[in-house]
Amino acid sequence: MMKKKLLLVSLMATSMILTGCDTLKSAFSKGNNNAEEEQEEEKEQEQPKVEEQTFEGSYTVMIYMCGADLESGYNGYYTNPDSAGLATSDLQEILKVSGQPENVNIIVETGGARAWKSTYGIASDKLERWHVRDKKLVKDASLTYKSMGVSSTFQSFLEWGLTNYPAEKTGVVLWNHGGGMQGVCYDEKKSDDSLLTNEVDTALKNAFKTVGRTEKLEWIGYDACLMQVQDIAEKNSQYFNYMVASEESEAGDGWDYDNWVDDLYAKKSTPQILKALCDSFISDNGGVNSSNGDQTQSYLDLSYASAYKTAWEEMAAQLNGKLTSSNKSNFNKAITGSVKHYADTDYDYFCLFDAKDFVTKLASHSSFSTYKVDAKYTEAVLAAHAKLVAYSTAQKGAGNSFGLCMYWCNSSKYSDMSVYTTSDTNFLSWRTINNTFGQHK
Question: What digits encode the pLDDT tens for the residues 105-117?
Answer: 999 999 999 999 9
What is the full DSSP assignment across 281-305? HHHHTT-TT-SS---EEEEEEGGGH
17 DSSP assignment: B
Q: Alpha carbon 240 to chain centroid distance?
A: 14
What is the average pLDDT across 340-358?
Answer: 91
How much of the chain, in percent, has pLDDT values that exceed 70? 86
pLDDT(168) > 50: yes
Closest CA to 230 of 374, 356, 392: 356
Residues 289 and 317 placed together within one structural domain of the fold: no
Beta carbons within 10 angstroms of residue 397's beta carbon: 15
Query: What average pLDDT score do residues 81-87 get?
Result: 93
CA contacts within 13 A on the Cβ side of 379: 3
pLDDT band at 438 (very low <50, low <70, confident <90, very high): confident
Residue 75 dihedral angles phi and psi, to the nearest 5°: -120, 20
**Looking at the structure, do residues 277 and 339 belong to the same domain, yes or no?**
no
**pLDDT for 347 beyond 90:** no
Whats the size of the chain, residue-wise?
441
At residue 235, the pLDDT reads 98
250 assigned to some structural domain: yes
Q: pLDDT tens across 193-238, in order? A: 999 999 999 999 999 999 999 999 999 999 999 999 999 999 999 9
- At residue 346, the pLDDT reads 80
Quick one: 321 and 249 in the same domain? no
Residues 285 and 389 in one domain: no
Distance CA 246, CA 24 (A): 16
pLDDT band, very low/low/confident/very high, at 3 (cuts 50, 70, 90): low
Amino acid at 208: F
Residue, of 328 and 28, whose pLDDT is higher: 328
- 3-state secondary structure (DSSP) of residue 436: helix
Number of H helices, E strands in the chain: 14, 13
Task: Specify if 249 maps to a domain.
Answer: yes
Task: Read off the pLDDT of each residue in 98-110 and give the average, rounded to a whole number.
Answer: 98
pLDDT at residue 313 is higher than 60: yes
Q: Is residue 41 part of a domain?
A: no
Last residue of a domain, one of 267, 285, 302: 302
Q: Are residues 285 and 311 in the same domain?
A: no
Q: What was the pLDDT predicted at 389?
A: 98
Q: What residues contact residue 136 under an 8 Å CB cut-off, 6+ apart?
A: 95
Residue 195 C-alpha from the chain's centroid: 10
- First-to-last alpha carbon distance for the chain, in angstroms, is 24
**Interval 262-289 mean pLDDT:** 96
**Amino acid found at 99:** G
Residue 240 has pLDDT above 80, yes or no: yes
The angle that helices 328-338 and 428-437 make with each other, rounded to 10 degrees, is: 110
Q: Where does the pLDDT of residue 412 fall: very low under 50, low under 70, confident under 90, or very high at 90 and above?
A: low
Q: How far is CA 336 from the centre of its chain?
A: 23
Q: State the pLDDT confidence band at 241, using cuts at 50, 70 and 90.
A: very high
Percent of the chain whose pLDDT exceeds 90: 79
Q: Which residue has the higher pLDDT, 344 or 39?
A: 344
**If pLDDT is split at 50, 70 and 90, which confidence band does 418 have?**
confident
pLDDT at 439: 79
d(C-alpha 194, C-alpha 180), whole Å: 11
Q: Which amino acid does the sequence have at 333?
A: K
Question: Which of 173, 185, 248 shows the shortest CA–CA distance to 31?
Answer: 185
- The CA–CA distances, whole Å, from 401 to 147, 294, 296, 404 equal 34, 9, 7, 8
Q: How many domains does the chain have?
A: 2
**Residue 376 backbone dihedrals phi, psi, to 5 degrees:** -65, -25
Are 149 and 171 found together in one domain? yes
Mean pLDDT in residue range 278-297: 94
pLDDT surpassing 60 at residue 259: yes
Alpha carbon distance 250, 19 (integer Å):
11
Domain that holds residue 323: 305-437
Please check whether residues 274 and 378 belong to one and the same domain.
no
Q: What is the mean pLDDT of residues 278-295?
A: 93
Query: CB of 55 within 8 A of CB of 222?
Result: no
Q: Which of 222-231, 249-258, 414-423 has the highest mean pLDDT?
A: 222-231
Using DSSP's 3-state secondary structure scheme, residue 14 falls into coil
> Would you state the pLDDT for residue 151?
98
Question: How far is Cα 325 from Cα 349, in angstroms, rounded to an integer?
Answer: 22
Average confidence score pLDDT of the chain: 89
Q: Cβ neighbours of residue 418 under 8 Å, at least 6 residues apart?
A: none
**Based on the domain organization, do 234 and 376 belong to the same domain?**
no
Q: Exposure pattern of 264-279 as b/e (b: 16+ CB <10 Å)?
A: bbeeeebeebbbbbbb
Are residue 220 and residue 368 in the same domain, yes or no?
Answer: no
Q: What is the pLDDT of residue 414?
A: 61
Coil, helix or strand at residue 211? helix
Over residues 376-411, the pLDDT tens digits come to 999 999 999 999 999 999 999 999 999 999 999 887
Cβ-Cβ contacts under 8 Å for 169 (sequence gap 6 or more): 58, 59, 60, 217, 218, 270
232, 321: one domain: no
According to the model, what pLDDT value does residue 19 have?
Answer: 37
- Is the pLDDT at 69 greater than 80, yes or no? yes
* 6-51 pLDDT, tens digit each: 433 332 333 333 334 555 665 554 445 444 444 444 444 444 444 4
Q: What is d(CA 289, CA 273) in angstroms, rounded to the nearest whole number?
A: 22
Residue pair 270/242 in contact (Cβ under 8 Å)? The answer is yes
Q: Are residues 375 and 263 in the same domain?
A: no
393 forms beta bridges with 297
pLDDT of residue 13: 35
Residues 238 and 275 in one domain: yes
Higher pLDDT, 302 or 22: 302
Domain containing residue 204: CATH number: 3.40.50.11970
